[in-house]
Structure formats: structure tokens, C-alpha cells
């Protein structure tokens, strides 16, 4: 039986003991709740390869919507897609010292090809700066060749010790942008443009509010001059780094000899950036909006925005079903993603619970009495509000309802973040605030890596970022009481 008291159907190919038959309450065990939702909603499953997941069709449909919406934004800002190899010669990685040190513990190597030992080990890409930098060095010769604005949709491999579906896996899907510019100013503009794009996307499409800011030196990307991030707050009070944008300065350009003849005829090194978001965003959506019944999906990325459930009474196949099919066609013609579930194996009650668990934003129930009244019965997933809707002008009404659900989810997540954001002015206050999983704690910080490390050691909290609009500091460092350089946002994080 599932948590709604309905009998479960065994999933094809799943062992009986591997199928999640009920969802652990979030308040009881948030981590177990998350894993239950991932399995029960058929978003992903564990693979025979340790640390890797299989993204199932329903989960991949969410990723496809994320990809489609992001890709349109990249192209609108002048970026184009390309693809670079999965394998990187080890000697290339060694060219950028800080980059090597940063990724060494996570690198997977290929030592044999078929029956032969490779003369040089190959690295399975953990990220692509080195291979792309090598290619840019071939392509860029003059200032006229700049800027280079390329993105790729790809998989990467990082040998993680502790994994969790979507949040941290050995192999994951992402997009990674890599650009090369004529001046330092252009590279910084690009870095911040993408950061703003990520923030707008997360808030308007995922209904997930994020704090945009700059990372500390110890938290920046290996080999970067500056790293900016967007940080979201999950339903358990932990933070999630949802995306990063790196200004690489000339570090990689010098390591890989990306040089060009400038306007003044001198030979110069390019200024480069890289940036990315991954399937981790799906985990962020689950933990930002989900509840004890399962997923709550923002309409903009939901595989099905509306599900239509016919009520099989009387001669419903000749009365109710044609009406359902007509409404489905009208909604789809308006660009709405619709599922009509006319399956006779399961009762309407089982379907209600199933699509609620899968997070479908809006359910429409249509029976003989509804048709007589010229209405359909609706149920919102976000608020659970139920109401009859007139069939006249239904498409417009549905569009308005979906927009209202999208807006409400963002407002609700913002309110949660505000309720779980506090400010500490003394070390005792900070430690007290960090007990459990309190959310974001804002505190003055001196800029010292030692203080930052001590804070992490004593409280398990990390400096998430320093917001772009960080106010002027007039209070001492939370740890050492020295002069502060910024108001930083700290949290325990995934």
C-alpha cells in the first residue's frame, strides 16, 4: 500500500524489495524522503556502476525542459553549441598547475585501449577547460576571431566518494560554456552576464530563489581568477550551489597559449571564462518544492503541466472520453503539455494519488455530471485547492492557473528563505544559529582563509558567497574580531 492507502503496481524490471512503496515524511528524515521521492516518482534509479544513476524518462523529461529553456537563453545572448571529446590526454591537464591540484582527487583515468597499454594515460573529463583551451589556441589568431562564445551539452565524470542521485554523482549531465575575449573587461562582463542569466532562469523557470555573489578565494574554481555562484536554500535548511560562473583571467590562456594579434599589432593572451549548471538543478527543484506527498513541480519544467482524469461512469467512453480528448487537443494546441489517463486498470482515486506524487501542477477531473454542467473539476498541486472551471474559455483559464501556480511556488520559496535567514554579530550567536540546519546565517568576515577554515571546522558551515549587493561592513569579523571586508552568507550545504 502507498501512503494514500492505494495498492501499488510493481514497476517493470524492479526487484520487489527495491521499489519504494511509501514516502518517508520530510520532518522525520529529509534525506530518506528525498531518496524515496526520486525512486517513487521514477525520476532516477541506481545503476550497477557505483555512484552512477540512470535517469528515467520522467526525470529526463524535466532535464529536457531545463535544457530547452536554457539553450534558448544562451543562443539569444550570442552563444553557439559545439562538442568536445570525452577523453583528455593527461599531459594537457598538467599544463595548468592549480587546475590539476583542484581536480586530482576526482580524476578517472583510462590506461588501456583494447588489448594495448596506452602510451599516455587519458583522463575522462571532469570539466573541459583544458581540451577547449587547446582548441581555442588553434582557432584564435587575431582580435577579429574574438569573442569565441561556445557552449556544450555533455556528461562529465568526477570520482566522488559520497554520492546522491542528482545532487552528486560520479557521472552527471550538464552544460559548460567556454568563452574567449579580447579584454579583461569583456571577460568580466561575460562572467556576470551568465550569472544574471542563471539567476533569472532559476527564479522564473524553476521557481527557486537564489542568492548571487562571489565565492571566497578558498571556494573558487581551481585555476580561476574569480568565481561567482548562485546559492539556493533547500527545504531542510541546507544550501545548494545551483550554478557557477568563472572569470579565468589569462590563466588558462597562458597555459594553453591562446594568443592573438591585437589591434595594436602586439601578440596578446586572450581572457577566458567558463560557466555551468547541471542535473543538480533537478535535485534543487525536488528539495525546494516537494512535500510529504512527493514532488511539486513548477509548471514551466513539469513533463505534464495538466493531467486529465476521466470519471468512468455509465457509457463514459462515448460521452466523457470524447470531451476529454477534445479538451486535451485544445490545450495542446495552445502549447500546454497534457496527459490524458484513460487507463481502465486503475481507479480515479489511485490516479489522483499517483499524479499528486509525481507533482503534476494541475489535475482536471471530468465525469458525466461535469459535462451536464459544462464544467471540469480542477485540483492544484501547490495549494491543493479544488474548484469547478467552466468549459467556456477553459484554455485561457488553464494558462492563468499555471502562471499562478508558477508564481506562488516562487513566492512560497522566497518566504521560506526569508524565514530561514538570520544575522549573527558575535561568535556565540553564530555558533548557536548554526546548530541543526538553520538556513543562511549572515555574518561579517575579515577575508582570512584561516578564519573561514576555523568556521567550517567548528560549525560545519561554509561560506556560500558574498552577495553582489553586499552592504558596507561596519562590524568586526565574526571569528577573529578583526576588521571585516564583507558581509558573507554562511550555511551548511550539500
| CATH 3.40.50.800 residue ranges for the chain | 306-399
Q: What is the pLDDT of residues 408-432, one digit of tens each?
A: 999 999 999 999 999 999 999 999 9
Please compute the mean of the pLDDT values over residues 438-450 and round it to a whole number: 95
- b/e code 343-376 from CB counts within 10 Å (16+ = b): eeeeeeebbbbbbbbbbbbbbbbbbbebbeeebb
* Residue 194 pLDDT greater than 90, yes or no: yes
CATH fold for the domain made of 57-288: BirA Bifunctional Protein; domain 2 (3.30.930)
The maximal CA–CA distance of the chain, rounded, in angstroms, is 84
Q: Indicate the average pLDDT of the chain.
A: 93
* Residue 13 pLDDT greater than 70, yes or no: no
| CATH 3.30.930.10 residue ranges for the chain | 57-288
Say what the pLDDT of residue 482 is: 94
Say what the pLDDT of residue 12 is: 38
Say what the pLDDT of residue 11 is: 39
Number of Cα atoms under 13 Å in the Cβ half of residue 93: 24
pTM reported for the whole predicted model = 0.93
Say what the pLDDT of residue 1 is: 38
Say what the pLDDT of residue 152 is: 98
Q: Taking the domain 421-491, which CATH number applies?
A: 3.30.110.30
CATH fold for the domain made of 306-399: Rossmann fold (3.40.50)
* Residue 6 pLDDT greater than 80, yes or no: no
Residue 436: pLDDT band (50, 70, 90) is confident
Residue 474: pLDDT band (50, 70, 90) is confident
| CATH 3.30.110.30 residue ranges for the chain | 421-491
Amino acid at each position: 500500500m502507498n501512503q494514500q492507502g492505494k495498492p501499488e503496481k510493481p514497476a517493470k524490471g524492479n526487484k520487489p524489495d527495491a521499489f519504494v512503496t511509501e514516502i518517508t515524511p520530510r520532518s522525520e528524515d529529509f534525506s530518506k524522503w528525498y531518496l524515496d521521492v526520486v525512486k517513487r516518482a521514477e525520476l532516477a534509479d541506481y545503476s550497477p556502476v557505483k555512484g552512477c544513476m540512470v535517469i528515467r524518462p520522467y526525470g529526463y523529461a524535466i532535464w529536457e525542459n531545463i535544457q530547452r529553456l536554457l539553450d534558448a537563453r544562451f543562443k539569444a545572448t550570442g552563444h553557439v553549441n559545439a562538442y568536445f571529446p570525452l577523453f583528455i590526454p593527461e599531459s594537457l591537464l598538467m599544463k595548468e598547475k592549480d587546475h590539476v591540484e583542484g581536480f586530482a582527487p576526482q580524476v578517472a583515468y583510462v590506461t588501456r585501449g583494447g588489448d594495448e597499454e596506452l602510451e599516455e594515460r587519458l583522463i575522462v573529463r571532469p570539466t573541459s577547460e583544458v581540451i577547449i583551451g587547446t582548441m581555442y589556441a588553434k582557432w584564435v589568431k587575431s582580435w577579429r576571431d574574438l569573442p569565441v562564445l561556445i557552449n556544450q551539452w555533455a556528461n562529465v565524470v568526477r570520482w566522488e566518494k559520497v554520492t546522491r542521485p542528482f545532487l552528486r554523482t560520479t557521472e552527471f549531465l550538464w552544460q559548460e560554456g567556454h568563452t574567449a575575449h579580447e579584454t579583461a573587461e569583456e571577460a568580466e562582463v561575460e562572467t556576470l552576464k551568465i550569472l544574471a542569466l542563471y539567476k533569472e532562469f532559476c527564479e522564473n523557470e524553476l521557481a527557486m530563489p537564489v542568492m548571487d555573489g562571489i565565492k571566497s578565494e578558498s571556494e573558487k574554481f581551481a585555476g580561476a581568477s574569480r568565481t561567482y555562484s548562485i546559492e539556493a536554500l533547500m527545504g531542510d535548511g541546507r544550501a545548494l550551489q545551483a550554478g557557477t560562473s568563472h572569470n579565468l583571467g589569462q590563466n588558462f590562456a597562458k597555459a594553453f597559449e591562446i594568443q592573438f594579434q591585437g589591434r595594436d599589432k602586439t601578440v596578446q593572451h586572450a581572457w577566458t571564462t567558463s560557466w555551468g549548471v547541471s542535473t543538480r538543478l533537478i535535485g534543487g527543484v525536488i528539495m525546494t518544492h516537494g512535500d510529504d506527498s512527493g514532488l511539486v513541480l513548477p509548471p514551466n519544467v513539469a513533463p505534464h503541466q495538466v493531467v486529465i482524469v476521466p470519471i468512468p461512469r455509465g457509457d463514459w467512453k462515448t460521452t466523457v472520453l470524447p470531451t476529454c480528448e477534445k479538451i486535451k487537443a485544445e490545450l495542446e494546441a495552445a502549447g500546454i503539455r497534457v496527459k490524458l489517463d484513460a487507463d481502465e486498470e486503475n481507479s480515479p482515486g489511485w490516479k489522483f494519488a499517483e499524479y499528486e506524487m509525481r507533482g503534476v501542477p494541475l489535475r482536471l477531473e471530468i465525469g458525466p455530471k461535469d459535462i451536464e454542467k459544462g464544467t471540469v473539476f480542477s485540483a492544484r498541486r501547490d495549494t491543493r485547492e479544488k474548484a469547478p472551471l467552466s468549459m467556456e474559455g477553459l484554455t485561457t483559464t488553464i494558462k492563468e492557473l499555471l502562471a499562478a501556480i508558477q508564481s506562488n511556488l516562487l513566492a512560497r520559496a522566497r518566504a521560506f528563505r526569508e524565514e530561514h535567514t538570520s544575522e549573527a554579530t558575535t561568535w556565540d550567536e553564530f555558533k548557536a544559529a548554526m546548530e541543526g540546519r538553520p538556513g543562511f546565517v549572515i555574518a561579517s568576515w575579515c577575508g582570512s582563509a584561516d578564519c573561514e577554515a576555523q568556521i567550517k571546522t567548528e560549525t560545519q558551515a561554509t561560506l556560500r558567497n558574498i552577495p553582489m549587493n553586499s552592504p558596507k561592513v561596519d562590524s568586526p569579523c565574526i571569528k577573529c574580531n578583526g576588521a571585516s571586508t564583507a558581509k558573507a552568507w554562511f550555511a551548511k550545504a550539500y
